[in-house]
Structure formats: C-alpha cells, structure tokens
Amino acid sequence: MKKHYLFVIVTFWVLGGILNAQVLLEENFDYTAGSLLSASGWSAHSGTGTNSPAVVTPGLTYTDYLSSGIGNATLINNLGGEDVSREFTKQDVNGTSIYASLLVNVTDASASKTGDYFFHLGNRSAPATFTAFCARLFAKITAAGVVNFGVSNTSTAGTQVYSAANYATNTTYLIIMKYTINQTGNDQVDMWVKSTGVPTNEASAGTADATQNTLTGQDTVNAVGLRQGSSSNSVAVIVDGIRISTTWSDLATVPVELTSFSANSVNGNVELLWKTATEKNNNGFEIERSLSLIPSQREGTINSPLGGKEGGFVKIGFVKGNGTTTNLSSYSFTDKNVNANSAYSYRLKQIDFDGTFTYSNIVNVSAGQSPNTFALGQNFPNPFNPSTVISYSLPQAGVVTLAIFNTLGQKVKEVVNGFQDAGNYTVSLNASDLSSGNYIYNVSVNGQSINKKMLLLK
C-alpha cells in the first residue's frame, strides 16, 4: 500500500449500484417465506390485511435481468384474497412514461380461464384507497398449458387487448409495460413479453405484444398494485422482481453494476478505485475530471451534477473493461496531474462496444491535512434504500474492518477487511440483499472500535 495520505474529504454516491440508476420502486420480496405482504411494507386496499398475497420460495430467475434471483417471490392466488399496493414518487407530467417490469410464472393447471388482471399501476390517495387504476396486466388460459397476456385500463370484459402469441404455463417470462401520460387526451399502455434475453432499449424490444391507446386518461400515477381474483376467471401466478422507473434502461438492462467508486489523495496524486459486480459488453471506462467548488460551498447540492460555474468535465484517461462477466472486477486509475491545493470532481464514462455509454455519479476530493482522530461518520442518507455512504477517519495505518450487524448482533455483511493507510475513507454500502430494519455498522482498527445505527427502509 502507498503511504502518507494527504486528504480532506471524499464523497461519492452509487444509487442502487447501477450507473445513473433512477428506479422509483424495486421489489424482490426479500421477506420470510410464508409471511404476508401486508406485514412487509405493502398495504391492503381491499380488506384488513389478513388475507393478502404471501411470500413463496424460491424466487424467479431470468438471465441478465437486474432483479433476477434476489430474495423470494409472491403467489397471486385465485381464491378471492385481498389486494395490496405500494406507493412510489408521484408521476403527473404530460408526456411522462412510467415503465414497469416484472417476472411472472403462471402455475395454474386449469384448461380454461376467461382472464383477469393481477398487476396494475394507479393513483392512491391513502394506503387503503385507490382513486383510479391504469395499465392493468391480464392473463387468461385458452387451453391446458397455454396462457395469453394482455393490457387494459378497466376490468370490463372485452376491453382487454391480448397478445397474439401463446405462452406456456410453468415458465418464467419477463414482462415490460410502458404507460404514457397525456394530460390533454387519452393515455397509452404498451406491453412486451420476453422468454429469453433482455432488450437494452425500447427500440431493440421490437413491436409491442399488446397496445391500447384509447385509454381514459389517468394523469397521476403513484402506486403499484397486486390483485387476487376469483377462481372462475383469475389465474394463479408467481410474481417477482418488480421494477418501476421513468426510463427503460433502469428496468431491463444489465450494464455495468458499479458497487463502489472512491477517490483518495495519495502522495500528491489522486487515486481512483472502483469495482463492478457484473459487466455486459463493457469496452471500458473513460475517466473525466473537473475543477470543483470546495466542499463547504456544496452544501445542499451534494446529489446534483456539477454546474457550468464549476468547470466542464474533460477526459484524462481510459481503463479497459472486461467485456461480459459475472465476476467481481476491480479497477484503478492514478491522476498525477493535480494541484495539492485544489479540489477536483471525477466521474466515469462507461462505454459499451457499440458506443452506448452511461455516466457514473460524481466523486469529489480535495487536499488537506491527515486526520488526527479515529472517527466514524453517520451514514448518508439515513434512512436509505438500498444504498448509503459511510465515512471514517484513520489517524494511523492498520488492518481495518467495516461490518454490518443486525439487532441480534449477527454479522450480515462485511464491507471492508484489509490494511489501510492513515486517511479519510468513504465507502458505499449496497443493501439490496438485506431486509428492511435497523442495523448497526462497526469500524475497527488497532484495537479500537466505533458503532453507529442505520435504518434500511424498502
């Protein structure tokens, strides 16, 4: 390891672990098998919550889908159970498209089911009150082992538009829905059903399998719902991996999953370190740098992109990627052309082999004195979902461990374990594999230890 850190502050944000992720809601049903969704953050809107969908195991898997194989799943039965919903940030701007993707597996053994909806978007004014529904996802069984999927804005018979293609029961499909708000006219819903592969964008997905563009406008959308119907027309279906966003790429792309990105001031240089959990068609990373305002002048704007007054980004280097891999990959780049009295901002421009690119969030670093006390900062944001940032200071070098514990004192995740020089450090924690609740994070070095609490709300 390199010695003698000259370091004041390092900050960075990795939202959801994906470059420039903007997911409004992600649900992987990472709850105890057999428990009810009404006890895990979902609100019953057709009853008291005692007969809501239940969590089942195992979860569904689909190659290259971002929410594949995480946690468990839920069973939407056809026994007249209660419906549940979860809220997300309100979308009500003309022209906005809300994308929803989910994994579905129809397990019904019936020879015929006339069809009903089991998933929908809508507007709810309170946890138990939906004022309107839209973008309802239907399923019907036309023969033993044969299922069709469709969309509609209402539950009125004959209004649904079903896919022309037939699909098989007991098979996992990726379904992507797009709901477009039109404040001055009818809204539109499009649906794609995929059995293999994950389209990287809407154009590559091809023609929608079902489209309904004569919907009565529902111009405020802020919730997703799961519906349990009657045995006469509703299918039994396993649902998993729900993702809601305003961009296609946040739902159905496996780009570069960035798990950490940090900047350290070392011996008059700036060392950038980053790791990826998975990569797909990754040609590499351009490293871009900009002069930035000092941290005290950034208060209130830490999550905002840099403005023009702070200077534009310029390319200062390139690091080759690993193409397509599911293995953990580590990268580094040293910027030797820096002024020790200046503050800098860095970002990564990840470039695919076809030229498609996405930007990481920004890391900031400025020069200063080494810390003289051992300290652990409060994670930010807190509460968080699913990512947060933890900062700590080391006045002396040593073997450092940073670990996460549940309230029973059981270690659930180890974030750092290794030798580190004196300096200030900031690491990103992605807790998408943990359940909602209170946790304790602990940093230890040279016989000293500090604990702090954090709250994960999914």
- Residue 93 CB-density burial (10 A; 0-12 exposed, 13-18 middle, 19+ buried): exposed
pTM, entire model: 0.58
Cα(398)–Cα(377) distance, integer angstroms: 19
- pLDDT tens per residue, range 146-174: 999 999 988 887 889 999 999 999 999 99
Q: How many CA atoms lie within 13 A of 66 on its CB side?
A: 31
- Distance from chain centroid for Cα 186: 30
Phi first, then psi: give them for residue 223, nearest 5 degrees: -155, 155
Q: What is the pLDDT of residue 75?
A: 96
Cα(413)–Cα(420) distance, integer angstroms: 19
- pLDDT tens per residue, range 256-276: 778 778 777 766 678 888 888
Reply yes or no on whether the pLDDT at 456 is more than 70.
yes
Query: How many of the other CB atoms lie within 10 Å of CB of 33?
Result: 13
Matching CATH number, 23-251, of 2.60.120.200, 3.40.50.300, 1.10.3430.10, 3.30.70.260: 2.60.120.200
Q: What is the pLDDT of residue 298?
A: 34
- pLDDT tens per residue, range 166-207: 999 999 999 999 999 998 888 999 999 999 988 878 888 899
Cα(433)–Cα(422) distance, integer angstroms: 31
Q: What is the pLDDT of residue 370?
A: 62
Reply yes or no on whether the pLDDT at 3 is more than 70.
no
| Domain definitions of the chain by residue range | 23-251
Instruction: Give residue 136's pLDDT band: very low, low, confident or very high (50, 70, 90).
Output: very high
Q: What is the H or E stretch that residue 202 is in?
A: helix 202-205
Helical residues (DSSP H) of 313-370, grouped into ranges: none
